[in-house]
């Protein structure tokens, strides 16, 4: 049951004319981390469209729906696991759980239901490989990446593996198997995540320290290690993006865009190396969230209309 103090906090948070039920629905929706979930679904879509001879049919809807349920469940359970840490951080303390608008038991049940429904739906409507990859994504996020955030700054490298699995789900849904041709999209997602999250960790390094998270920036107040790892992975990102052309998953138009966008991403990282400030880190972050949708959009256009 909802405790009285939680109900009062919900009532205090309501805008004029807003009902309690709408507010609660908004809190449940916030638990799914919709912006992060969008990136997961976008990468899954790319993986579905990349294989040669791909066709768009009802399977795509089933894939997106099942992945959305699985990803949402993982995000809800992640917030349930980190509610105590989130309560100590300025950027997260107003989330539904640390603020008290939802009870931990509500989030736990919600997350478990979403997760079971998501993996089961993928198994029943797509194929076993896709469902296993979905379960692996869910399990690695909850049982490996999330606990490691409090144990070692290497957690980001493990978390990047988890974040690179959704496009493989798309590939398996389209082809019914995994092969070496899906490696480029895995690497692209992997090397994109690292400078993206390094930038976030630098911007909020004091907040992460308060929350008890061991990020790369925790013991790197001057930013030299963060800048170095950003640069290395930015270069690897550029290289991995070029492999799509050489394995014939992207044409010359894609190659040009990959080169230009990759250089632009590297330029923002070099800017951070020269002036290791929050503003420069934010620029790396902003460039990263533009880079991926642009490259993926061009990849789809090139794949469907040009090749």
Q: Note the pLDDT of residue 218.
A: 85
Which of residues 8 and 253 earns the better pLDDT score?
A: 253
Mean pLDDT over residues 110-114, rounded? Answer: 98
Please state which of the ranges 14-18, 216-220, 247-251 shows the lowest mean pLDDT.
14-18
- The rounded mean pLDDT for the chain is 91
| pLDDT value at 167 more than 50 | yes
**Long-range pairs, 12-19, Cβ under 8 A, ≥24:** 13/99, 13/101
Span 80-94, pLDDT tens digits = 999 999 999 998 999
Mean pLDDT over residues 152-158, rounded? Answer: 94
Span 287-305, pLDDT tens digits = 999 999 999 999 888 877 7
| pLDDT value at 176 more than 60 | yes
Report how far residue 27's alpha carbon sits from residue 102's, in angstroms, rounded to the nearest whole number: 7
Please state which of the ranges 50-59, 75-84, 95-104, 292-301 shows the lowest mean pLDDT.
50-59
51: left (phi over 0), alpha (psi -120 to 50) or beta: beta
Mean pLDDT over residues 134-139, rounded? Answer: 98
Report how far residue 126's alpha carbon sits from residue 66's, in angstroms, rounded to the nearest whole number: 9
Share of the chain above pLDDT 90, in %: 81
Report how far residue 289's alpha carbon sits from residue 296's, in angstroms, rounded to the nearest whole number: 12
Q: Note the pLDDT of residue 134.
A: 98
Span 278-288, pLDDT tens digits = 999 999 999 99
Residue 51 — φ and ψ, nearest 5°?
-55, 145
Q: Note the pLDDT of residue 244.
A: 94
Q: Which CATH architecture has domain 20-178?
A: Orthogonal Bundle (1.10)
Q: Note the pLDDT of residue 56.
A: 84
Span 187-226, pLDDT tens digits = 999 999 999 999 999 999 999 999 999 999 888 878 899 9
| DSSP per-residue letters across the chain | ---HHHHHHHHHHPPTT--HHHHHHHHHHHHT-HHHHHHHHHHHHHHHH-STT---SHHHHHHHHHHHHHHHHHHHHHHHHTHHHHHT-TTTTTSTTTTTSS-HHHHHHHHHHHHHHHHHHHHHHT-HHHHHHHHHHHHHIIIIIHHHTTT-TTHHHHHHHHHTSHHHHHHHHHHSS--GGGHHHHHHHHHHHHHHHHHHHHHTHHHHHHHT---GGGG-TT-HHHHHHHHHHHHHHHHHHHHHHHTTSS-HHHHHHHHHHHHHHHHHHHHHHHS-SHHHHHHHHHHHHHHHHHHHHHHHHIIIII-
Mean pLDDT over residues 34-61, rounded? Answer: 91
Q: Note the pLDDT of residue 221.
A: 79
Residue 102 — φ and ψ, nearest 5°?
-130, 150
Report how far residue 88's alpha carbon sits from residue 129's, in angstroms, rounded to the nearest whole number: 39
Question: How many residues belong to the chain?
Answer: 307
Q: Note the pLDDT of residue 306.
A: 60
Q: Note the pLDDT of residue 11.
A: 45
Do 203 and 182 meet the contact criterion of CB atoms below 8 Å apart?
Answer: no
Every domain of the chain and the residues it spans:
20-178, 179-307
Q: Which two tokens stand for residue 209?
A: 């320290």
Domain 179-307 has CATH 1.10.3470: no
| Residue linked to tokens 């490259």 | 295
Please state which of the ranges 20-34, 120-134, 247-261 shows the lowest mean pLDDT.
20-34
């Amino acid at each position: 049951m909802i405790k009285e103090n939680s109900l009062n906090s919900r009532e205090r948070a309501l805008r004029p004319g807003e009902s309690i039920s709408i507010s609660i629905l908004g809190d449940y929706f916030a638990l799914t981390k919709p912006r992060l979930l969008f990136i997961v679904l976008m990468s899954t879509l790319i993986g579905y469209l990349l294989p040669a001879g791909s066709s768009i049919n009802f399977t795509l809807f089933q894939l997106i729906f099942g992945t959305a349920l699985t990803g949402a469940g993982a995000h809800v359970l992640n917030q349930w696991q980190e509610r105590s840490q989130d309560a100590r951080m300025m950027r997260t303390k107003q989330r539904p759980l640390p603020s008290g608008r939802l009870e931990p038991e509500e989030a736990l049940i919600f997350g478990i239901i979403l997760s079971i429904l998501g993996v089961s739906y993928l198994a029943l409507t797509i194929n076993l490989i896709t469902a296993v990859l979905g379960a692996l994504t869910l399990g690695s996020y909850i049982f490996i990446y999330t606990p490691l955030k409090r144990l070692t700054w290497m957690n980001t490298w493990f978390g990047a593996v988890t974040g690179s699995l959704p496009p493989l789900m798309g590939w398996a849904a389209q082809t019914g198997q995994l092969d070496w041709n899906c490696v480029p999209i895995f690497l692209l997602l992997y090397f994109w995540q690292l400078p993206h999250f390094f930038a976030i960790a630098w911007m909020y390094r004091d907040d992460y320290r308060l929350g008890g998270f061991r990020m790369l920036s925790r013991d790197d107040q001057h930013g030299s290690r963060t800048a170095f790892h950003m640069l290395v992975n930015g270069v690897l990102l550029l290289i991995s993006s070029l492999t799509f052309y050489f394995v014939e998953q992207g044409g010359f138009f894609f190659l040009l865009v990959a080169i230009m966008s990759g250089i632009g991403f590297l330029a923002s990282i070099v800017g951070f190396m020269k002036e290791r400030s929050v503003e420069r880190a934010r620029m790396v972050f902003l460039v990263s969230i533009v880079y991926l949708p642009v490259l993926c959009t061009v990849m789809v256009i090139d794949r469907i209309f040009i090749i």
